Copies of this chain bind each other. A is one copy, B any other.
Amino acid sequence: MPSLYKAVATNFLVDTYLLVGWKSIGVAVIDLAERAAQQLRLGSMVVIYDGDEREGEADLVVHAQNAEPKTIETLRRDAGGLICLALDAGFAKALGLPFYTDILEASNLPIRAMECTKTAYGDRPAFAIPINHKGVYTGITDNDRSLTITKMAELAEEKNPAESFMRDFYSPGHVFLLIGRGIENRHGHTELSLELARRAGLSGAMVLCEMLGSGKALSKKDAEEYARKRGLAFLEGKDMIAAGARTDGGDDI
């Protein structure tokens, strides 16, 4: 159970940091978004629930630089959805990365007629293109997906990443790139997880995977229980948005 120990230790560190950082000595009202950001910074996974009014879905997320093969295995075994890599708009622009729908439109093929402009829960899709790093074999194994994602995390640190991106990765692959539209424009897991990375001071490259139950999305209650048992932060979209508003206002932090 080393990962559980790691999570408990992470929690202790986070709570201590927050207590000391805020110079609180009484009951600490710990900001949920800040606590989740701290966990993320320490390499941990976090559970993000978007909201009952949207997908009503929890995603298991982690920063791209911490997407080790064991983490990919946990995402596919415990969450079960599609393992995607969300990039913030700035990073995507630096890469020269279009949305998938931009490619469909530019192709002008008849298949364009199938373009999704609005999902059932009201948003435009976040999908860009599926990629693999050229160092992979099949692209789908834990080792291969970890390689693709961690190499993308390295690119996020480069000043002009477009050349390396075009040279070292290919498409179609097995890691699905998403582009964030900014938390002020869209409240999907893409934007929520990227906002969490921003708050944590990490680059805009977040891995996400939908948590599934039998037949349906994993219920909020079960997702909370999963997070509690493993010592992971559980964050709701509304907490993140409220935290953002507070940060902007400069009152609480």
Contact = CB atoms under 8 A, between A and B. Distances in A.
Interface of A: 55, 57, 69-70, 73, 76-77, 80-82, 96-98, 100-104, 106-111, 113-116, 119-121, 125, 127, 129-132, 136-143, 165-166, 169-174, 210, 212, 214-217
Nearest to A118: B170
19 contacts: A57-B138, A77-B80, A96-B110, A96-B111, A97-B111, A98-B111, A102-B107, A106-B106, A114-B165, A114-B166, A115-B171, A119-B138, A120-B137, A121-B137, A140-B210, A140-B212, A141-B212, A141-B215, A142-B212
A108 to B, nearest CB: 7
A227 B139 CA distance: 24
Interface of A is mostly: mixed
Given A73-B212, A107-B107, A111-B129, 16 more contacts: A69-B214, A69-B215, A73-B214, A76-B76, A76-B80, A77-B77, A77-B80, A104-B107, A111-B166, A114-B169, A115-B170, A116-B170, A119-B139, A130-B130, A141-B216, A143-B215
